[in-house]
Structure 1
Amino acid sequence: MVELENIIVKFLNQEANYSELEKLEDFLKNEGGKQVFNSYVKTQYLSTLSMTEYDVNKAKETIKTRLKKSKQTRRVYLYRKMALAASVIFTFGMAFYLFYNSGQVETPEPEKQPNLIVVGTDKAILTLENGDEVALEKGKKYQTGKVSSNGEELVYADKGQSEVGDKVPLYNYLTIPRGGQFFVKLSDGTEVWLNSETKLKYPVKFTDGISRQVELIYGEAYFKVSPSTVNKGAAFQVLTKSQEIDVLGTEFNLKAYNNDPVMATTLVVGKVKIKKGEVTETLMPNQQATISHESDKIDIEEIDVSQEISWVKGLFSFNEKPLVEIMTVLSRWYDTEVIFENAKQKNFVFTGILERTKAVEDILKLIEATSEGQLKFEINDKTININ
């Protein structure tokens, strides 16, 4: 079976020789062989490509046209027979898709411009206590002292508390650029997920018995706070430019981007106290507190927290959101600029749950399809124009 799987891979990659093609052709003559072929291709290839808008019939016609132009050698003839067999058993047309893109035909293709807008990934800049900066990214390991990273997360040694009376605490900064995300586990066991365009300040070690304090300088972060009961009663506090959040042991989302009109704190589990100036409010689970930068007023409302924290689970969740807010979220994740040609387009409302792993083109096509002709997206380099 391993040999046949290798032949299938070679066929799809246009590398199978004459004898291998004959073996595969014989293998596909029985129903069991067809099922194995179909299952293997789906498992190995379909999961990595979006087939939601794949036009099988169009691909077939394109292949027929190109095959007529190709040289009528034995190799080309056999590949055509195999492609026809594959089309019968692989209803999704995956084999045709790979065959179509394999570059067999000698007909020159116009050069395609590279896609400059890519999906966000795990990456961050760690600023150490001495000012040195370390780039963290997938596939790149880093370790020094009691902190280590595998390229997808940053972990400080558990229970790295300083004794009362020690010298001034040392701080690290973790900066997430546009098009990035990262996870950090602080020395007290608190877990923090950081969204694109975010910066967090925190001590390398918390002082034993004193309130644990971190600062969200800007951006969005989801906190799963280590309870005070395992930290000798020390409470946990998150600071922003204009508010303080006191917690004991809880999970909450804090969004405080510089260019957003309000800051939003969403409580998932536990209990938090929010302070802005002289105003203090207590937040309960499934509630969100919003604060304007120009006012000390704290507004609290009941919300569906699953939508607010969907980004932690790898999703975009938009519930009747205006397009201007949606494009702000997308521009941070895909590191792109957005231009509205008409101000009215900003008010277009969209509802949907989408995967953050999708290409931006797929998401824009879906939004465009629901607009009934009101919207048209065009991508130029790293800019999305909305007409």
Structure 2
Amino acid sequence: MTKSEKIIVKFLNQEANHSELEKLEGLLKNEEGIQIFNSYVKTQYLSTLSMKEYDVNKAKETIKTRLKNEKRIKRTNLYKRMGVAASVMLMLGMAFYLLHTTNTVNRTEVQKQPQLIIAGTDKAILTLENGDEVALEKGKKFETGKVSSNGEELVYAEKEQSDVVEKEQSYNYLTIPRGGQFFVQLSDGTEVWLNSETKLKYPVTFKDGLTRKVELLYGEAYFKVSPSKDHKGAAFNVLTKSQEIDVLGTEFNIKAYNNDQIMATTLVEGKIRIKKGEVSETLAPNQQAKISHESDNIDIQEIDVSQEISWVKGLFSFNEKPLEEILTVLSRWYDTEVIFENAKQKKFVFTGILERTKAVEDILNLIEATSEGQLEFEINDKTIYIK
């Protein structure tokens, strides 16, 4: 790490002194310095899910203000002027420092075999109504009379575009393996993003006047449902093994993996009603409903939905999550196994926002660096060991 880069990290962490701020001010007076600065904050706009680029001019103004006052400005006020949440910026500053510092020290066992574990990609298995299976993946095109794929998404023809009238409703299945993700647009225009280790059952064509029903057999899916007003008032239902969701044009996320004890449904926009047995609850935006497989209770909480749906934006978002939960998420995306040598390690808590395109070694190194010696990761073949 160069001296300039260290000063940038200190600035992001609110640790730069008067002399360092002067040097940073000089750095930002030339194009090369601005490029160095932007390389460090590139991940910032991704983590906020809204910013397109970091405003270097505002950073310059901040530096000038601090130099003029000859004292540190309190962290909260600084980040309000920059339009970024202080907690996110501090976390990212720490992440930048730890990640780049880790890259300069001796590599640990976790980095010996990086080629064996790779980040997930767009891939799926489409099961047609006649039972035939089609492998969908980047670079491979597929097309029939009703559905087409460019290898990265699957699109069904709207009913008026299909000249075949079906007497009986036929179904397709889309299965996403570990290490995969995929997008499908159903025949009613509903958009669905499917995460790793997920399986969805849905009609090839929805029938007029009947409730549009799909089934999330297992896994995680984000739905952007086509409004009922566009389909003669037909409602939209999502079934899982533990609940039924009634929808009238909305966006929401369902996490219902087979090995999870709790199923979580998060509403981003619109309105949905969740039913389990005789119990039903209605969700408002920014609320999450949790259901246990062993109970009929529906627990509703207010949450930050941006963290819950970060995977759709290509991010991992962990906010004080236990290591066991984090590695379960990583194991699905990187298609790897995880072994804890000590049960206490499962409770280690980590906070961070990271891109899903990163190598798993980089993510593990960052977590290890924040553990203050409590954790050590090792990769052997396609298994991650936590010591």
TM-score, length-scaled by structure 1: 0.71
Which whole-Å CA distance do the structure 1 matches of 2:138 and 2:193 have between them?
16
**What are the within-5 Å matches in structure 2 for residues 285-324 of structure 1?**
285-324=285-324
1:162–1:205 Cα contact (<8 Å) kept: no
Which whole-Å CA distance do the structure 1 matches of 2:341 and 2:191 have between them?
41
Which whole-Å CA distance do the structure 2 matches of 1:137 and 1:295 have between them?
39
Instruction: Report deviation, 1:168.
Output: 1.9
Secondary structure at the counterpart of residue 242 of structure 1: coil
Instruction: Report deviation, 1:159.
Output: 3.5
Q: CA RMSD in A?
A: 2.7
Which whole-Å CA distance do the structure 2 matches of 1:275 and 1:113 have between them?
47
Residue deviations 1:125-176, cap 9 Å, x none? 000000000000011111111211111100001235999x952200000000
Residue deviations 1:295-315, cap 9 Å, x none? 111110100111000000000
Question: Corresponding residue for 2:100?
Answer: 53
User: Are positions 1:146 and 2:193 aligned together?
Assistant: no
**Higher relative contact order (Cα pairs below 8 Å, separated by 6+ residues):** 2
Instruction: Report deviation, 1:242.
Output: 1.6
The one-letter code of the counterpart of 1:333 is W
1:161–1:207 Cα contact (<8 Å) kept: no
Question: Corresponding residue for 2:184?
Answer: 184
Secondary structure at the counterpart of residue 367 of structure 2: helix
Which whole-Å CA distance do the structure 2 matches of 1:271 and 1:244 have between them?
14
Structure 1 runs, 4 residues or longer, greater than 6 Å off: 54-59
Q: 1:239 to 1:58 in 2, by over 3 A?
A: closer
Question: Corresponding residue for 1:115?
Answer: 115
Q: How many residues in Structure 1 have an aligned counterpart in Structure 2?
A: 294
Residue deviations 1:296-355, cap 9 Å, x none? 111101001110000000000001100000000000000000000000000000011111
Which whole-Å CA distance do the structure 1 matches of 2:344 and 2:294 have between them?
27
Question: Corresponding residue for 2:350?
Answer: 350
Secondary structure at the counterpart of residue 367 of structure 1: helix
Residue deviations 1:85-123, cap 9 Å, x none? xxxxxxxxxxxxxxxxxxxxxxxxxxx856210000000
Structure 1 portions without partners, runs of 5+: 1-34, 60-111
Larger Rg: 1
Q: 1:362 to 1:228 in 2, by over 3 A?
A: same
Question: Corresponding residue for 2:370?
Answer: 370
Instruction: Report deviation, 1:53.
Output: 2.7
Question: Corresponding residue for 1:24?
Answer: none
Secondary structure at the counterpart of residue 100 of structure 2: coil
Secondary structure at the counterpart of residue 363 of structure 1: helix
Secondary structure at the counterpart of residue 115 of structure 2: coil
**What are the within-5 Å matches in structure 2 for residues 8-23 of structure 1?**
none
Q: 1:58 to 1:376 in 2, by over 3 A?
A: closer
2:198–2:218 Cα contact (<8 Å) kept: yes
Residue deviations 1:262-284, cap 9 Å, x none? 11000000000000000011111
The one-letter code of the counterpart of 2:303 is I
Which whole-Å CA distance do the structure 2 matches of 1:202 and 1:177 have between them?
18
Structure 2 portions without partners, runs of 5+: 1-30, 44-95, 107-111
Question: Corresponding residue for 1:273?
Answer: 273
Matched-pair identity in %: 80
2:102–2:365 Cα contact (<8 Å) kept: no
**What are the within-5 Å matches in structure 2 for residues 1-387 of structure 1?**
53=100, 115-159=115-159, 166-387=166-387
Which whole-Å CA distance do the structure 1 matches of 2:361 and 2:103 have between them?
20
